[in-house]
C-alpha cells in the first residue's frame, strides 16, 4: 500500500522521541549538557559529510566546477528570500507558542528550565534539527518515490535510522524532536502522493543539490548546538528549494 513507509517513519520518530523523553528526565543536567555538545559535534560531522558528498556528486555532473557556485548562490539567495519572509521571526513566534504549552505540560521538555525561554528554545531547536536530519537527503526523496510506487523498503530502513536518532536527540532537545513528524508527513507524504509525476523531476543532480544545501544547513545547526556560533538557519531554509530548482534548470 503506497504511504505505509511514511506511516512507519512517523511512528518510529514518535516512539524514539518518547523513549528519549523518559531517559532524558532520568539523566542529570551535567550529563545532558555534555550530551548536547556531543550531539552538536555529531551534527556538524553529519552535515559536513552530507554537503561535501552532494557537492562531489554535483561536480561529477554536467555542472562540473560550477557546482560550488550553485551551492553558494542557492544559500545566499535562499538567505535573502528567508530574510524577506522573516522565517526566523515566525519561528520565534512558534517558540513562544510552544513555551506556553511547555509550562502547561512540563513533560514536554526534559529536566527543568530556569529561564523562561529555555524550554521554547529547546523545543524549536529540536524541531528544526530533527526536521532537517529526517527530511533532507537522498534516502528521503528516493524512499518516498519508491513508497509511492509500491516499494516501502527504503523508508523502512530510514525509519530504523530515524527512530534511533530521535532517541538521542529527544534526550537533550526534548519533545520538539517529535514535532518533526509534521514535515515528514508533509514532505514525504507529498512526494508519495505525487510519485508518478515528480519522479522525472528528481534527477541525480537535483537530489545531490538538495543534499549539498541541506547538509550545509545541518552543519550550521551543529555549530549552534555545540555553542560555537548561532547562524539564522531558519532564514536559510529556502536555499534547499532554490538549489533544487537551479540544478534542475542547469542540468
pLDDT tens figures, 43-61: 899 889 989 999 999 988 8
**Looking at residue 138, what is its pLDDT?**
74
CA–CA gap between residue 187 and residue 177 (Å, rounded) = 16
Question: Is the CA virtual torsion 70, 236, 80, 228 positive or negative?
Answer: negative
- Percent of the chain topping pLDDT 70: 89
Q: Given phi > 0 = left and psi -120 to 50 = alpha, else beta, which region is 3?
A: left
**Looking at residue 99, what is its pLDDT?**
62
pLDDT tens, position by position, 87-131: 888 877 776 776 676 556 555 444 444 443 445 556 788 888 899
The verdict on pTM exceeding 0.85 is: no
Under DSSP, is residue 70 helix (H, G, I), strand (E, B) or coil?
A: helix
More confident residue, 97 or 193: 193
Residues ≥6 apart with Cβ < 8 Å to 38: none
- Percent of the chain topping pLDDT 90: 41
Q: What is the mean pLDDT of the chain?
A: 85
Query: Which of 106-140 are b and which e, b meaning 16 or more Cβ less than 10 Å from the residue's Cβ?
Result: eebbbbebeeeeebbbbbbbbbbbbbbbbbbbbbb
**Looking at residue 103, what is its pLDDT?**
59
Check whether 167 has a pLDDT greater than 80. yes
Structurally, the chain folds into a number of domains equal to 1
**Looking at residue 196, what is its pLDDT?**
84
**Looking at residue 109, what is its pLDDT?**
47
Residue 198: domain span: 4-250
Check whether 238 has a pLDDT greater than 70. yes
pLDDT tens, position by position, 203-230: 889 989 999 998 999 899 889 888 888 8
Kindly state the average pLDDT of the residues 141-155. 90
More confident residue, 118 or 243: 243
Of the candidates 210, 202, 199, the residue with the CA atom closest to the CA atom of residue 238 = 210
**Structure letter (DSSP) for residue 127:** H
Amino acid at each position: 500500500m503506497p504511504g505505509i513507509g511514511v506511516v512507519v517513519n512517523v511512528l518510529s520518530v514518535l516512539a524514539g522521541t518518547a523513549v528519549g523523553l523518559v531517559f532524558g528526565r532520568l539523566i542529570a543536567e551535567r550529563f545532558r549538557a555534555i550530551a548536547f555538545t556531543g550531539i552538536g559535534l555529531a551534527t556538524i560531522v553529519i552535515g559536513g559529510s552530507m554537503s561535501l558528498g552532494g557537492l562531489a556528486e554535483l561536480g561529477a555532473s554536467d555542472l562540473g566546477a560550477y557546482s560550488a557556485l550553485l551551492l553558494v548562490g542557492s544559500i545566499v539567495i535562499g538567505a535573502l528570500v528567508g530574510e524577506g519572509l522573516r522565517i526566523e521571526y515566525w519561528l520565534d513566534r512558534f517558540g513562544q507558542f510552544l513555551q506556553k504549552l511547555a509550562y502547561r505540560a512540563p513533560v514536554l521538555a526534559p529536566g527543568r528550565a530556569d529561564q523562561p525561554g529555555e524550554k521554547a528554545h529547546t523545543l524549536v531547536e529540536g524541531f528544526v534539527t530533527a526536521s532537517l536530519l529526517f527530511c533532507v537527503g537522498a534516502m528521503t526523496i528516493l524512499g518516498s518515490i519508491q513508497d509511492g510506487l509500491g516499494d516501502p523498503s527504503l523508508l523502512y530502513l530510514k525509519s530504523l535510522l530515524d527512530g534511533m536518532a530521535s532517541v538521542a536527540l529527544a534526550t537533550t532537545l526534548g519533545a520538539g524532536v517529535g514535532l518533526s513528524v509534521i514535515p515528514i508527513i508533509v514532505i514525504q507524504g507529498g512526494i508519495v502522493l505525487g510519485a508518478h509525476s515528480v519522479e522525472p523531476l528528481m534527477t541525480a543532480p537535483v537530489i545531490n543539490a538538495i543534499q549539498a544545501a541541506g547538509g550545509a544547513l545541518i552543519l550550521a545547526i551543529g555549530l549552534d548546538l555545540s555553542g560555537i556560533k548561532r547562524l539564522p538557519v531558519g532564514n536559510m531554509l529556502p536555499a534547499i528549494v532554490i538549489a533544487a530548482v537551479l540544478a534542475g534548470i542547469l542540468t
